[in-house]
Amino acid sequence: MSKLTPIHVQAQTEWTRYLTRRHFLKNCQIGLGAVALSQTVGTPSSNAAETSGRKPEGPLAVRPPNHPTKAKRVIYLHMSGSPPQQDLFDWKPTLVKHHMEPCPDEILKGERFAFIKGRPVMLGTPWKFARHGQSGQWISEVVPGMARHADDLCIINSMITKEINHAPAELFLHTGENRAGGAAMGAWATYGLGTENQDLPGFVVLVSGGTDPTAGKSVWGSGFLPSVYQGVQCRTGNEPIFYLNNPAGMSRDDRRRSLDAIKALNEAELKEFGDPETLTRIEQYELAYRMQTSVPEVMDISREDKRTLEMYGAEPGKNSFANNCLLARRMAENGVRYIQLFDWGWDMHGTSADNDIVNGLPNKCKQVDKPIDALLTDLKQRGMLDETLVVWGGEFGRTSMNEARGGSKFLGRDHHIHCFSIWMAGGGVKPGITIGQTDELGYRISENPFEIRDLQATIMHLIGLDPYRLSFRNVGLNARLIGPTDTPKIRREVLA
């Protein structure tokens, strides 16, 4: 009777059948291949390891921040499609005065638009603005819930981007690249800091509005970082994460035994070949097993009392932005590092009543304003706002002119890169201030421009990471969220 070959030897023999030139060069004893390949294969740079205090524990283990910081986590509320800043936070009485007048030639000279043709007319907001709070910030009547928090908000009216189309603009904002393949801010945050709860993902994504953001799932991808850092999309319903539940006929004990066998094989492969993705694979299998019990509990908003559900406008079992805001608070209090909400439907072109600024905009605002009011209130009353950085905004701005695509009689605004508004609150942000100004027609920035990469650098700084040193070796470069140069700035005027 022939002797049985141990299973790990069988696995190693099978592996050699698929040994690639890359693996050969990386591991050959001459070493030249390894030297050359180390410049192209993605690996953590020494700066990244030093910056994040990386230790030999699991990839999601908590790591200390670079500097003392208040913010322990981020909740990013992205309005996919981009809300019109002139109707929400950037009050322009002169634009209202010139409503429906032909656009001045000096504005149109050298400009290219996504959809506007010919000579458009100016479009003043139909909504009333008022000063709110002791800070006296100008905020529109269509977001009364946000207005109640004027003294907590740091409104930035001078954001500027370089991307005029939705997908590239969303990718540039969240990954630092205008094409798929970059690592999202949430991935960088968990790569640098790990996460407090090892039974939940460090980076969670919640989507509402009926579809994914225009950039798709790449906008929460890990890019060249190990895939354990990518965002995990959660949903309301019986299966919060697809394919997490055991298949029919498999018990939890059966799952544990199968994972133990797979883990032994992966650990043998890791020891032999040292591929960091193998470690990621081990961690993801184990995390998925733990999440089978932890995720359903956290995602069950029916555990909240009636008052809280009513405050948010949340309905258990429903897919809505209100539910997602309540889930964001539950994720935050359960130790998730980065919670990303995407709400689709903010592309107010004015081609129909559904996407104009008279009908479509107030409808969308009604869907998000009450939940955001509740989220900020809830975080504050639980003593969590000081430790939670909340960010709200879109991927670019909207024009001060009426689009009138195809002769449409509905009022809407085209894409605009020269200025837009976002706000930040909590987590070490200076409250009750407005940063930056636009010209009297709200078309270009007149004071204190705020670049996308400045925003990224500032968010990383607020959660305790050094955006200049946090990097990952990829295709011969120390890739960073803020790009290869040191021109992005940590905006100190935002810091409390």
All structural domains of the chain, each given as residue ranges with its CATH number in brackets, are: 39-494 (3.40.720)
For 140-153, what is each residue's pLDDT tens digit? 999 999 999 999 99
Percent of all residues in the chain with a pLDDT value above 90, rounded to a whole number: 71
- Which neighbouring-strand residues pair with 422? 156, 393
pLDDT at res. 40: 42
DSSP H helical ranges for 100-243: 105-108, 144-147, 166-175, 185-193
pLDDT at res. 59: 86
Higher pLDDT, 275 or 423: 423
Task: Fill in the amino acid letter for 442.
Answer: G
pLDDT at 24 over 90: no
Q: Would you call 412 exposed, middle or buried from its count of C-beta atoms within 10 A (0-12, 13-18, 19+)?
A: buried
Neighbour count for residue 224 (Cβ, 10 Å): 18
For 97-143, what is each residue's pLDDT tens digit? 999 999 999 999 989 899 999 999 999 999 999 999 999 999 999 99
pLDDT at 417 over 60: yes
pLDDT at 380 over 90: yes
Task: Write the DSSP assignment of 218-278 as a string of letters.
Answer: GGG--TTS-GGGS-EE--SSS-SSTT-SPPTT--HHHHHHHHHHHHHHHHHHHHHH--HHH
Which of the four pLDDT bands, split at 50, 70 and 90, describes residue 268? confident
Q: Tell me what the mean pLDDT of segment 260-283 comes to.
A: 75
**CA 302 – CA 148 distance, rounded (Å):** 27
Which of the four pLDDT bands, split at 50, 70 and 90, describes residue 418? very high
Region of poorest pLDDT, from 281-295, 381-395, 467-481: 281-295
3-state secondary structure of 148: coil
Half-sphere exposure of 156 (CA within 13 A, CB side): 28
pLDDT at 10 over 70: no
For 304-329, what is each residue's pLDDT tens digit? 999 999 999 999 988 999 999 999 99
For 350-365, what is each residue's pLDDT tens digit? 999 999 999 999 999 9
Backbone φ and ψ for 73, nearest 5 degrees, come out as -155, 165
CB 162 within 8 Å of CB 172:
yes
**CA 120 – CA 101 distance, rounded (Å):** 9
pLDDT at 286 over 90: no
- Which neighbouring-strand residues pair with 424? 154, 391
pLDDT at 82 over 80: yes
CB 412 within 8 Å of CB 348:
yes
pLDDT at 51 over 70: no
**CA 142 – CA 200 distance, rounded (Å):** 36
pLDDT at res. 290: 67
pLDDT at res. 309: 97
Tell me the range of 57-71, 228-242, 287-301, 356-370 where mean pLDDT is highest: 356-370
Sign of the dihedral defined by the CA atoms of residues 57, 60, 66, 70, in that order: negative
Neighbour count for residue 314 (Cβ, 10 Å): 24
Which of the four pLDDT bands, split at 50, 70 and 90, describes residue 288? low
**CA 86 – CA 81 distance, rounded (Å):** 15
pLDDT at res. 4: 54
Q: Tell me what the mean pLDDT of segment 415-440 comes to.
A: 98
Alpha carbon 420 to its chain centroid, in Å, reads 18
CB 134 within 8 Å of CB 146:
no
